[in-house]
Structure 1
Amino acid sequence: MSPETPTSASAGMTREKLYERVWATPINHLAADLGVNHHLLARVCEALNVPRPPAGYWQKKAVGREEPRPELPAASPGDQVRWERNQPLAAPRPKRVYQRAERKTADRPHRPTRHPMLIGVEESFRKSRSDEKNEFLRPYKYLLPDIVASADHLVDALDLANEIYSDLDLKGLRVMFAPADQEMRRIHVDEQEVPRKDRKYGRYQTGSIWSPRRPTITHVSSIPVGLVLTEMTERVTMRYLDGAYVPEDSKLARSAKPWQLTHSWTREQDLPCGRFRFVAYSPLANIDWSVSWQDTQAADLKSLVPSIVARIQSSEAELQALILAEEKAAAQRRKEWAEAQERYRRQEDRRSVERALADSKEQLAEIMEKWAAATVVERFFQEAERLLEQVDDERRAHIRARLVLARAMLGEQDPLGFLAEWLAPEERYQSKYSQP
């Protein structure tokens, strides 16, 4: 057994049960009982925010000098509350590192701290499936913040996300990945700055855009809110020169010679433009709610961060109303589904009763045909036996031998046996409902 694979004993363990067992048995022994590595069990405790006994606890307990165990902290919205078998663990709650305040000097520029969700992610974003200059990054890693950007503007995107995430955290709205044990979806976000009926993104105008495996969310009270930051695209005329498409207003296109333009042509393409759109949405199924903000000539997105945070904070009542409406609609759908299933089961039951009746009648008709045939055969042999008494002895022996062979060939004809094999309709199928 792999040390990373929990046994059935550990499948479906709640954080309350794990808390009791961790404080009742040393973690090495408990890990052995559960069939897992003790390092994995320690990570499970960290992911579920379950406190563990400190070093020396069991030695002190052996002599009756252990300290009282701490209370199990209440789970916050979005925390993983159950350890399921073969399910990924949620990332532990990030801990901010506070640096000692230093005196500002002219030669020490201010460097803003990164939000815990954004520390070290730039390198992961740049490890991309595509390095096309006119396309968004498509990182190999999928557990990343929900940020879509091109290589040229990735730093700008991370700085903007840092502003939004940090302001949300300051208001008590922790930004995190959606928990692995909860079903949450990521909505489609239109990347076009100006919505159009057609789409011409990518080299072949059918390019795909990366999206994370799990949404980035925050919680308003206990209600999840998804967060997406995407760089937008603008429609640009591209000219084919020297084996590649370049913007029509680029220096290379403007300086092209007349002979180069002879074998050149243009097309339109949606290119990342360095301006951003931020979308807050509901990641819950069947809850259609989203609000978006984007860079405009009147105001850039960074200046809208306070209003973004305030709008998300004030969305609790609106989202709660939508959730209650969806719960009622879901209950009605479940009721209608149950009624439809009940109607189907009754129809199937009625069809089964009718089929049993038809099969029983058909079998009885076959028995009657066999009965009639058997009666004819038996009458034939009886008549032959009667007539046999009237022939002379020499001929009688020969005909009797023929009759014996004929009976052996046809077999025993037992009409009552046919009737014994017949099944009545109720014996074939018993209705589950009282028939009118």
Structure 2
Amino acid sequence: MTEDQDTIPVPAPIADRGDGPVSREALYEMVWSEPMLKVAARFSVSSSYMARVCTLLNVPRPERGYWAKLAVGRAPKQPPLPEPRPGDPLEWTRDGTPPERARSLPMPPDRTSRRKRAARSPLPDRHPLVSGAKPLFEAGRLSWTGGYLKPVKRLLVDLAVTKTGLDKALAFANEFFLALEARDHRVVIAPNSEPFHRAEVDERENPAKGHHHNNLWSPIRCTVVYIGTVAIGLTIIEMSEETEVRYVNGEYIRLTEDAPKRRGRSAHNHGWTSTRDFPTGRLCLQVYSPYPRADWIQQWRETPARDLSARIPSIVRELEKATVEIARLVEEGQRQAELERQRWEAQREEWRREEEVRRAAKALKDSKEELLQIIEVWAAAKRLEEFFADAERRAQDLPSEQREGTTARLRRARGLIGSTDALERFDAWRAPEER
């Protein structure tokens, strides 16, 4: 599986003119109702691109020449849309948004209905996740602790190994994955639609307490095995051990590998002795629950006396048994998440009610203050009106020349004061429910 093949953004049909999801069922109906070229044109992509989308969604499509055979009545029978395999995406969107169709809770396999391997195609010699992985690991950089490989691509099988341990890790991964596939357990890189999380990796054979910082490579998506519909994360780690070393000529060398000290006056040793973690070549298989809120992890470690490959059959059986516990943890996690969601909604509703009460109290207070202010302004306006009325009345008794000047000054004064109409000011008042 390549990175490009696993991350195709399927555009929405031209008829939609949006980023809505395209379901497996809808795509199946399209590719069997018209030629692939026309289907691809609806999505503004090539027919080969559309074929890759069908492959990723596990949607069967007509073979080359199907429509010509159909025109003469010699077309083969249309195959049904198969049930989605564990890990198959159920729909696709143009912009890569998470799917809207929620998956059901993971379920352990039903042992009574497990298909026999003999009825299926034989297994390959190399598992698809292992095939072609070696050059991609070797082409990358090295970590600054222990010389662990950091491949150039992040969509690869989950290995944390050095260059000397790469072949052994790939051989074990191939044997282990094929053993799982032989039991009808699909081993894949987790689909982009799943919210999976990779467990932390500590490569030390004897981890000490406290946080351990390393800069090991980590894949962009987990490597998982689907047992039933339960996904279990898989990481293969080359362990390291703490060793006494000496710093010589710019590098750390194990004391057992340090060259014998030279004798004589010119034999100066400018290095110093300390401890460092060095890879051991021994492997550790770390399996874990990739589901949020479902913490579960287990390890199988290789020892100098016991090879990890010899334990593959028992490991597969243990994983099959563990699916019951993981499914229970996922169900419990979702139940807790739903309870937290309900508590959060209840808290938000309480905050909303409190905010409504606060706003109502503030509206009542503001409305009352505004009304009192209008009354105060009215009282002042009434005094002003009485003043102007008395002044105008007295002005009528003045001589004509003096009366005209006084009347003009009163008009200017009224203009400066503005309206003294109480109803005009009251109409601008807002009641509490209007705020």
Alpha-carbon spacing, 1:257–1:134, altered in 2? closer, same or farther (3 Å) = farther
Aligned length: 402
For 2:188 and 2:154, locate their aligned partners in 1 and report how far apart those are by CA, in whole Å. Answer: 14
Deviation sequence 1:263-303 (CA, Å, 0-9, x none): 22122222222111111111110101111110124523222
Deviation sequence 1:128-173 (CA, Å, 0-9, x none): 1227693211112001001110111111111111221111111111
For 1:290 and 1:5, locate their aligned partners in 2 and report how far apart those are by CA, in whole Å. Answer: 35
Q: 2:355 matched to 1:348?
A: yes
Please, what TM-score do these two structures have when normalized by structure 2? Answer: 0.86
For 1:301 and 1:256, locate their aligned partners in 2 and report how far apart those are by CA, in whole Å. Answer: 42
* Structure-to-structure mapping, 1:300-315, within 5 angstroms: 300-315=307-322
Please, what TM-score do these two structures have when normalized by structure 1? Answer: 0.86
Q: Could you tell me which of 236, 240, 250 is aligned with 2:247?
A: 240
Query: In structure 2, what is the equivalent of residue 116 of structure 1?
Result: 128
Query: In structure 1, what is the equivalent of residue 170 of structure 2?
Result: 158
Query: In structure 1, what is the equivalent of residue 114 of structure 2?
Result: none
Alpha-carbon spacing, 1:269–1:98, altered in 2? closer, same or farther (3 Å) = closer
Greater shift, 15-24 or 27-36, is seen at 27-36
Alpha-carbon spacing, 1:63–1:86, altered in 2? closer, same or farther (3 Å) = same
Query: In structure 1, what is the equivalent of residue 34 of structure 2?
Result: 25
Q: Could you tell me which of 278, 282, 291 is aligned with 2:289?
A: 282
Deviation sequence 1:17-75 (CA, Å, 0-9, x none): 10011101111011112222222111001111111112222123234443321111111
Deviation sequence 1:309-350 (CA, Å, 0-9, x none): 110111122222222222322222122122111111111111
Structure 2 residues not aligned, in runs of 5+ = 1-7, 99-119
Query: In structure 1, what is the equivalent of residue 112 of structure 2?
Result: none
CA contact (8 A) 1:96 1:116 kept: no
* Structure-to-structure mapping, 1:394-433, within 5 angstroms: 394-428=401-435
Question: Aligned with 1:212: secondary structure?
Answer: coil
Alpha-carbon spacing, 1:256–1:333, altered in 2? closer, same or farther (3 Å) = farther
CA contact (8 A) 2:9 2:93 kept: no
Alpha-carbon spacing, 1:135–1:377, altered in 2? closer, same or farther (3 Å) = same
For 2:421 and 2:189, locate their aligned partners in 1 and report how far apart those are by CA, in whole Å. Answer: 78
Structure 2 counterpart of 1:143, which letter?
Answer: L
* Structure-to-structure mapping, 1:306-325, within 5 angstroms: 306-325=313-332
For 2:97 and 2:281, locate their aligned partners in 1 and report how far apart those are by CA, in whole Å. Answer: 35
Query: In structure 2, what is the equivalent of residue 374 of structure 1?
Result: 381
* Structure-to-structure mapping, 1:1-150, within 5 angstroms: 6-7=11-12, 9=16, 11-87=20-96, 113-130=125-142, 134-150=146-162
Q: 2:418 matched to 1:390?
A: no
For 2:210 and 2:270, locate their aligned partners in 1 and report how far apart those are by CA, in whole Å. Answer: 27
Greater shift, 236-245 or 41-50, is seen at 236-245
For 1:420 and 1:375, locate their aligned partners in 2 and report how far apart those are by CA, in whole Å. Answer: 17
Question: Aligned with 2:350: secondary structure?
Answer: helix
* Structure-to-structure mapping, 1:188-199, within 5 angstroms: 188-197=200-209
For 2:173 and 2:37, locate their aligned partners in 1 and report how far apart those are by CA, in whole Å. Answer: 41
For 2:10 and 2:232, locate their aligned partners in 1 and report how far apart those are by CA, in whole Å. Answer: 33
Q: 2:340 matched to 1:333?
A: yes
Question: Aligned with 1:217: secondary structure?
Answer: strand
For 1:199 and 1:266, locate their aligned partners in 2 and report how far apart those are by CA, in whole Å. Answer: 24
How large is the RMSD of aligned CA atoms in angstroms?
2.5
Question: Aligned with 1:283: secondary structure?
Answer: coil
Query: In structure 2, what is the equivalent of residue 271 of structure 1?
Result: 278
Offset of residue 228 of structure 1? 0.7
Question: Aligned with 2:347: secondary structure?
Answer: helix
Structure 1 residues not aligned, in runs of 5+ = 90-94, 100-112, 201-205, 429-436
Offset of residue 261 of structure 1? 5.2
Question: Aligned with 2:195: secondary structure?
Answer: coil
Offset of residue 255 of structure 1? 4.1
Question: Aligned with 2:200: secondary structure?
Answer: coil
Structure 2 counterpart of 1:418, which letter?
Answer: R
